[in-house]
């Protein structure tokens, strides 16, 4: 092992949610489902207007998952607010909230247009631990084994 390398196997279970966290719900497991984002102390959906593969890629990365499996799937309508619309990522961003997007809570869609997607598992690759933990800490690379 070289100086500065960190090999870690991590298992984190937390019910705490933080501003900008993402989750997939209503799927068969945590790698697929309706995409929700935490804002103003509540979970809400993201509208699929202008939602493409680059947007889904950023979402998968932010959640510590692998590449996009399917960027467009239907996992049923959400409840509560539609937090974001017109998300437009380049695909290189670390967080959905740093992508170009409409203002929070401003949208022209209902829950019939909620983003549904799936990601591959992230296995045997290196990734920034800050992405896995979904915080804005200084990033270190972690290899999952």
* C-alpha to C-alpha distance for 139 and 122, rounded to whole angstroms: 17
Tens-digit pLDDT string for the chain (145 aa)? 455 554 444 444 456 789 999 999 999 999 999 999 999 999 999 999 999 999 999 999 999 999 999 999 999 999 999 999 999 999 999 999 999 999 999 999 999 999 999 999 876 544 444 444 444 444 444 444 4
* C-alpha to C-alpha distance for 79 and 56, rounded to whole angstroms: 21
Q: How many CA atoms lie within 13 A of 54 on its CB side?
A: 11
3-state secondary structure of 102: coil
Q: List CB contacts of 28: < 8 A, sequence separation 6 or more.
A: none
Instruction: Give the predicted TM-score (pTM) of the model.
Output: 0.75
The residues spanned by each domain of the chain are 16-143
* C-alpha to C-alpha distance for 4 and 80, rounded to whole angstroms: 44
Superfamily of domain 16-143: SRCR-like domain (3.10.250.10)
């Amino acid at each position: 092992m070289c100086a500065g390398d960190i090999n870690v196997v991590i298992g984190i279970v937390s019910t705490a949610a933080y501003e900008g966290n993402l989750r997939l719900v209503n799927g068969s497991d945590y790698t697929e489902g309706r995409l929700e984002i935490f804002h103003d102390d509540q979970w809400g959906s993201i509208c699929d207007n202008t939602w493409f593969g680059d947007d889904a890629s950023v979402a998968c990365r932010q959640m510590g998952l692998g590449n996009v499996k399917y960027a467009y799937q239907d996992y049923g309508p959400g409840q509560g607010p539609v937090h974001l619309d017109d998300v437009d990522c380049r695909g290189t961003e670390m967080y959905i909230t740093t992508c170009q997007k409409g203002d929070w809570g401003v949208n022209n869609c209902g829950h019939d247009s909620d983003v549904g997607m799936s990601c591959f598992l992230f296995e045997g690759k290196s990734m920034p631990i800050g992405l896995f933990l979904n915080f804005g800490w200084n990033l270190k690379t972690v290899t999952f084994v």
